[in-house]
Structure 1
């Protein structure tokens, strides 16, 4: 146990006390097949790295565009089975490949990926096939941090917010994932560019917070904290099952929840 704790503390210090290496493990799974119409988009970041994006087109006229942020450790192609029910329900899905994954260049860190996400949202809302429809942001697990961040950074571009299995902050999740003996040290030395539970308090968007009470990766109590801190029109949907598995286990219910959120966002209008 002592050696494991010492190793974790060393990782913290080497990674700039942000646990970036732990939050962005490279997924070695084979690529899943993608069907249907998909467009790839490359955007150059301010530091000169090329970041890859995907726009998945639905079979019929889209009713909204959803910018989906996947969990860390997975390429976009391996998230296709998760977003497939949304595409089949005529949602247009935009996704960003995190730095160091797939064809995206660079090395991921919390701050750099957040900047990439902001740039991607600014690009997305300028597209002619997006301008005339609502834009929702959705994030699962780590991706929920990005969804909250971009909704807070650009409220004028976002109509509604969805998070699933999302933690209150990077530091909270790093501490929760560490042995009990190490947790106080993790919280003491951890640095993070933003804290989701603070940002969500400023949002006025209609939001849906999805979380399993059986989640062993991110405790349900974090969803309760995010829900309590949120001040906009909000819903906490408590489910059962594994971490961020709701779209696989409950696709019809999930799509129905998002359809309802879309209706509420149209009544609410874009946040100012």
Structure 2
């Protein structure tokens, strides 16, 4: 069953500055370069004393190694960040050593600039990415139909294709986490004769899966289901990383090697 509705609704509620009209409006305004200069450096949470972000140039790096760097601008009294979503935060107070702003859930985030060199260790080794599969996984199904023996294979191949998923901290900060996608390879043999062999990527499902969901999902699994007069049935899973949200897609390989893709009813 398709389960992408919940995450789409959450994204609509939280992405307060994502409309094209607002993007156009603030993109025309002049950036406050003095405020950007004041924001350079490492900032720690005033209450927990934990490093939160490192600002260098026009980029913010979060201490969470899973989060991707994002670009930013300060226009008037607002901080704009540009990741998967464009997000705005109202600035309450800014000086050389203090930065207070309102999060998307209206919490006040109080930061102070770090003067401790050890805090820089929170922003090293930025290559951490969570893989769904770490090695090639092979599944081999032997089936008989109409007196003929077939082999239906699935290969799950980890790739270096990155998927960005927007997440929100408990304080209402928008962050883009990074994951690796997979490439599936399915092939069907009648004896030694190849009836079908092809790589399958999630982009092939753009006609049956909404674009917003497809962008943040991973092609996480593929299974051979059955063979009948229509051909060889497979089912692919498109899941949102670290969530229970998923979407299933049907694939049928006909006996003459044609691939048909459809959504699960």
TM-score bin, normalised by smaller chain: under 0.3
Structure number having the greater helix percentage: 1
TM-score by length of 2: 0.22
Higher relative contact order (CA 8 A, sep 6+): 1
Bigger radius of gyration among the two: 2
TM-score by length of 1: 0.22
Structure number having the greater strand percentage: 2
